[in-house]
Amino acid sequence: MSASRHPALSSTDPELASYVAAEEVLQAETLRLIPSENYVSAAVLEASGTVLQNKYSEGYPGRRYYEGQQNIDRVEALAVERAKGLFGVDHANVQPYSGSPANLAVYLAFAQPGDTVMGMALPMGGHLTHGWGVSATGSWFRGVQYGVRATADPETNGLIDYDAVRDLALAERPKLIFCGGTALPRTIDFAAFAEIAREAGSVLVADVAHIAGLIAGGAHPSPAEHVDVISTTTHKTLRGPRGAMLMCREEHAKAIDKAVFPGLQGGPHNQTTAGIAVALHEAAQPSFVRYAHAVVANAKALAAALLERGFDLVSGGTDNHLVLIDLTGKEVPGKVAAKALDRAGIVVNYNTVPFDPRKPFDPSGIRIGTPSLTSRGLSTEHMPLVADWISRAVDAAAKGDEQALRAIRAEVADLMAAFPAPGLPLS
Ligand SMILES: *Cc1c(COP(=O)(O)O)cnc(C)c1O
């Protein structure tokens, strides 16, 4: 497979080529449920592997520190214009190497070391870079953290407690407030956060890394009119190459650009910028609106099917692409379940659940999502089957039944063969 697909690589470095070919098979045969992953299109893949790789271009279009930028300037300007159009913002910076450096640039633009910053706690569903202790953002800044409600009322249990966020913000007056996260199955109320940030005098950052594609496709409300800065990765629901973007109103454009370069980075990864431009073009098509809504419809159908099979879900369900399964009531913890599912050809990650009684490296939950399976064309009618597989695999894990896991793996590969993934060779 790889010899025809990557002929130069196969002849120069057959060992490495064999790993790539094996990864192609793995991505083709398995049901990939990690909510931060996806399949990029063949066009994005091609754009990301071009001779743009060879060019140094410190600076921004029209203001570079190296000559020979005739084509690179066009590529970056195109990506910037597409980002502005798609997300309805004044300014876009497409150079951050990934989501974490993008967030660090926001700190550099608006805060000084030691300043108080506020974000959602990691175990509650926030991201490391929102001021959590083990991250540089939590050791160079003073992170204060909010979480979700623990109530007996299923209508509010597991939801962000906006009153508590407001109380904390007014008590701490943080320089920055981050909203958004990595394990949040519910809609983020950007207007409520904006009100709180205004009262507290804080710069509000929407980190929409997970949901950028849903926003672009109109399947989640946009933060554009509510927040000071939007930070996003480009490789999750947005279905672009691994990279990130920072977007803001004109008033913050200079500060953001200066923080990314020369504040944190040198030369931008031009081949990635090209891939981002293509992904933004794809995300502006009517088919992407259908994709984004299908991702959410699939997640809701999967959540309903899991509830029917006796699983507990954080917040009782989902509004977006993500479902957080709480296995506290089951016989297997998250890590054991995740590893068994992997052997069954279903790729998930173990994850903390809010108020997790277990440790982060051995937590009580698994996190799943529908961006990848939707990219392959699976629809709501398939979600009961997916829930069945998950249920059978978790039961098999409890019993140590490896044969049952192998049987599921074969069934998964069978279905996946009927739904070829974008960007992968047809096997
Ligand atoms: C994925 C993610 C990031 C970090 O992105 P990397 O590219 O992995 O550095 C930041 N914030 C949120 C909310 C994320 O989900």
Tens digits of per-residue pLDDT, 10-31?
999 999 999 999 999 999 999 9
Q: Is 236 designated active site?
A: yes
238-291 pLDDT, tens digit each:
999 999 999 999 999 999 999 999 999 999 999 999 999 999 999 999 999 999
Q: Is 195 designated active site?
A: no
Q: How far apart are CA 280 and CA 220, in angstroms?
A: 17
From the number of C-beta atoms within 10 Å of its C-beta (0-12, 13-18, 19+), residue 281 rates as: middle
328-359 pLDDT, tens digit each:
988 899 999 999 999 999 999 999 999 999 98
Give the atom of ligand 1 at the shortest distance from the alpha carbon of 180.
13
From the number of C-beta atoms within 10 Å of its C-beta (0-12, 13-18, 19+), residue 54 rates as: exposed
Look at residue 422 and give its three-state secondary structure.
coil
Query: Is residue 212 within 8 Å of residue 238, measured between CB atoms?
Result: yes
Q: Is the pLDDT of residue 1 over 50?
A: no
Q: Which of 37, 129, 215, 322 to mutate for ligand 1's pocket (most ligand atoms within 8 Å of CB)? A: 129
Annotated active-site residue in 233, 237, 273, 318: 233
The count of other CB atoms within 10 Å of the CB of residue 177 is 29
Q: Is the pLDDT of residue 138 over 70?
A: yes
Pocket of ligand 1 (CB under 6 A): 36, 98-100, 103, 127, 129, 180-182, 207, 209-210, 233
156 confidence band (pLDDT: 50, 70, 90): confident
Annotated active-site residue in 55, 84, 242, 343: 242
Ordered structural domains, the chain, with CATH: 48-283 (3.40.640.10), 294-418 (3.90.1150.10)
Q: Which of 38, 122, 182 to mutate for ligand 1's pocket (most ligand atoms within 8 Å of CB)? A: 182
